[in-house]
Amino acid sequence: METRLFWIGLAMGAYAWLSRRWKGNGAVNTPLKCGLWHGLFFGLSAFSIVLVLAMSMEGRAPRIGAAAHSLLAAEFYPSLLAGVIFGALGFWRGYMSGNSAEKRGYYLEEDWEWSETVFSAVILASVLMYFVVQAFKIPSGSMRKTFMEGDHLFVNKFIYGLRVPFTGKRVLALRKVSRGDVLVFRFPSEDPRKLHCGSIQYGKDFIKRVIALPGDKVEVINGVLKVNGQFPVEPHVNMDPVERDPYRQPKAMNADALGAERYQELWQTHDLDRALEGVMKDQFGPVTVPQGAYMMMGDNRDHSCDSRYWGPVETKYLKGKAWLIYWPPSRMGVVR
C-alpha cells in the first residue's frame, strides 16, 4: 500500500509543479486546454481516492501486471472507472467556463493548491508507512487466538532496521529477529503464477510467528514442533483435537518421501508443496533454516498456510513486527 501511495503522491506533485509553472507563463489559455487540465485533476483525484478506499479492504483478486506491488483487479478497475467519469466531468466543467481568463486562472490556482496539499500529505504518509509504522487488518483465522479475524493492528517497521528502497536490505537495526516474534511479511515468491495452499499467494501480506532462526533444524512429528532436537513450549499455539484423530490423517509425507537433500532443496526454493501436491501438516521435515531466512508458522497450527507448505521467509520480504492491536476496543493491547 505504501508503494502505491508514494506513486499517487508523486503524480500529484508533478501535477502541482506543472500547474504552478503554467499559471506563471499563461500556457493554459484556451477552453480546450483548461478543460483537459481540469479534467486531468478530477480524473487523477477520483482514481486516487477510489484506489485508497479499495486498498483499505481485503482483496484476493488477480493482479494487474507482473510486479509484486502491482494493482489488484478489484482496485484497478473501479479506480479507473471513477477516474474516467470524474475526468469527463472535470473536462466539461473547465471547457464550458474556459472562455473567461479569470475562470481559467481560478481553476488552475484551485487545482494547484489541492494537488500540492495532497502531494505533501500522501508523500508523508507513504514515508511513515514504509519506514516507521503501518496499520494492517487480520484477514483469516490462521493466528487464532493471538489475533481474530477483523482485528486491526499497528506494525513496527523500523525495529529490525530501516528498509533501503528497492534493495531488500535494512540498516540501523534496533534488534534482531527473535524466535517467537510475530511478523508481517510479503509472501516469499517472485513468481505470480505459482499456486501455494491451493491458490496464488504472490504479493500478499502474511502474518505468522517466527518458530525457527537461521541454522535451526526443524521437524513436526504428529503435529508437535521440534526445534534443534527439543520440543519448545508453545503457550500461544491453538491445536484442534479433532485433527489428531489417526483415522483422519493420511500417510505421512516427510523427508523420507523424497530423500533428505531433495526435500531440503524443494522446501528452500518454495516448491515443496507443489512437488508433494500438498504437505502433511502433522509430519514435516526435518529441514534446516538457511542463512538470511526464517521459518514461520501460524498459532492456529491446524489451520495455517505457513512455512511447512511454502518454505522459509527471506529477510528481504519482512515488513515489520506486530506491535499493538488497536481495534476492536475489547481486544486492545500489545502483541505477544
pLDDT in tens, 118-138: 888 888 888 888 788 888 888
Average pLDDT score over residue span 253-264: 78
**Cell 482483496 sits at which residue?**
59
pLDDT: which is higher, 93 or 64: 93
Question: In this model, does residue 67 exceed pLDDT 60?
Answer: no
Can you tell me the distance from the alpha carbon of 203 to that of 55, in angstroms, rounded to the nearest whole number?
13
Task: Please give the Cα distance from 151 to 319 (Å, whole number).
Answer: 18
For the stretch 74-123, pLDDT in tens is 677 888 898 899 999 989 988 888 788 888 888 888 888 889 898 888 88
d(CA 154, CA 59): 19
Would you state the pLDDT for residue 72?
Answer: 61
Task: Considering the candidates 48, 79, 115, 142, report the single residue annotated as catalytic.
Answer: 142
Grid coordinates given for 303: 489451520
Query: Does pLDDT of 268 surpass 90?
Result: yes
- Residues with Cβ < 8 Å from 110, sequence gap 6 or more? none
Residues 292-321 have a mean pLDDT of 93
* Range scoring the smallest mean pLDDT among 75-79, 270-274, 300-304: 75-79
Averaged pLDDT, 272-287: 80
Q: What is the pTM of this model?
A: 0.73
Angle formed by the axes of helices 31-55 and 2-25, nearest 10°: 160
64: pLDDT confidence band, cut at 50, 70 and 90?
A: very low
The band of 1, judged by pLDDT with boundaries at 50, 70 and 90, is: low
103, 37 in Cβ contact below 8 A? no
Q: Is the Cβ–Cβ distance between 191 and 175 less than 8 Å? A: no
Q: How many CA atoms lie within 13 A of 323 on its CB side?
A: 15
CB atoms within 10 A of CB 56: 11
208 is catalytic: yes
Residue 142 designated active-site: yes
Q: What is the pLDDT of residue 65?
A: 41
Please give the backbone phi and psi of residue 133, each rounded to the nearest 5 degrees, phi first: -145, 150
Q: Which of 157, 204, 208, 321 is catalytic?
A: 208
Each residue of 245-270: b (16+ CB within 10 Å) or e?
eeeeeeeebbbeebeeeebbebbbeb
